[in-house]
Amino acid sequence: MESGPLDSAIAAADRALRAVFAPARSARPAPGADLKAETLSDGERRTSAALMRVNHTGELAAQALYHGQALLARSSGARELLLESARSESDHLAWCEERLRELHAHPSLLNPLWYAGSFAIGALAALAGDRASLGFVAETERQVERHLDGHLDVLPAGDGRSRAILETMRGEEIAHGVSATRAGGVPLPGPVRALMRHTARVMTSTARWI
């Protein structure tokens, strides 16, 4: 039986509460879990923790984007693709959360705000139609790929566990973007892409410290 608007809204609220307030859970073991624990200096640990805090926030925001888009998706195919991507981001979130604990660090204190804002952006993207919404996914993942490349460049050389997580995430983010494009996603206008970059920059620069 097809769910109605109320059912969809309740499911969206449940996903939001689980994403923001429940401990993240992964269906897969974290990449690099079998690597020997590294000995990092205090400075290296702080650097790794700041980067992983940003990535944790990014994964939470990605879930929120896809949840918002899925809520207002017009076709069941687009909705399922968005929710499948969100489930993969949930694994990424759990890996980052676990790594933060290992680094004796905490997630961003502003995560509820990042989730709410990203959910709203995702819902707005969905109002433009499924093809534009899927194009939004593809552009988001391209920007995430560049973001992860930058983090891999500055991650302490001895932090093999964090590197394994980020490299796996990078490959899967690329796959999400390819899937969205193949499903009919269209390129976004330049001003929209620029606004997305600016918004992400504000979030990541803040999450690094708070």
Residue 98: pLDDT above 90? yes
pLDDT averaged over the chain? Answer: 84
Residue carrying structure tokens 């680094």: 103
Mean pLDDT of 6-13: 60
Confidence band for 1, pLDDT divided at 50, 70 and 90: very low
Q: What is the DSSP string of the chain?
A: ----HHHHHHHHHHHHHHHHHSPP--SSPPTTTTSPPP---HHHHHHHHHHHHHHHHHHHHHHHHHHHHHHT-SSHHHHHHHHHHHHHHHHHHHHHHHHHHHTT----TTHHHHHHHHHHHHHHHHHT-HHHHHHHHHHHHHHHHHHHHHHHHHS-TT-HHHHHHHHHHHHHHHHHHHHHHHTT--PPPHHHHHHHHHHHHHHHHHHTT-
Query: How confident is the model over 109-128, as a mean pLDDT?
Result: 87
Mean pLDDT for 189-208 is 81
Inter-residue contact 183 to 78 (CB < 8 Å): yes
**% of the chain at pLDDT higher than 90:** 27
Which residue type occupies 15?
Answer: R
Using the predicted structure, report yes or no on whether residue 3 has a pLDDT greater than 70: no
Per-residue pLDDT, averaged over 151-166, amounts to 93
Pick from 56, 65, 87, 64: nearest CA to 151: 56
Domains of the chain (ranges, CATH numbers): 41-207 (1.20.1260.10)
Whether 165 and 99 have beta carbons less than 8 Å apart is answered as yes
* Residue listed under structure tokens 């401990």: 23
Q: What is the pTM of this model?
A: 0.84
pLDDT tops 70 at residue 4: no
Average pLDDT over residues 160-164: 93
Average pLDDT of the segment spanning 79-101: 88
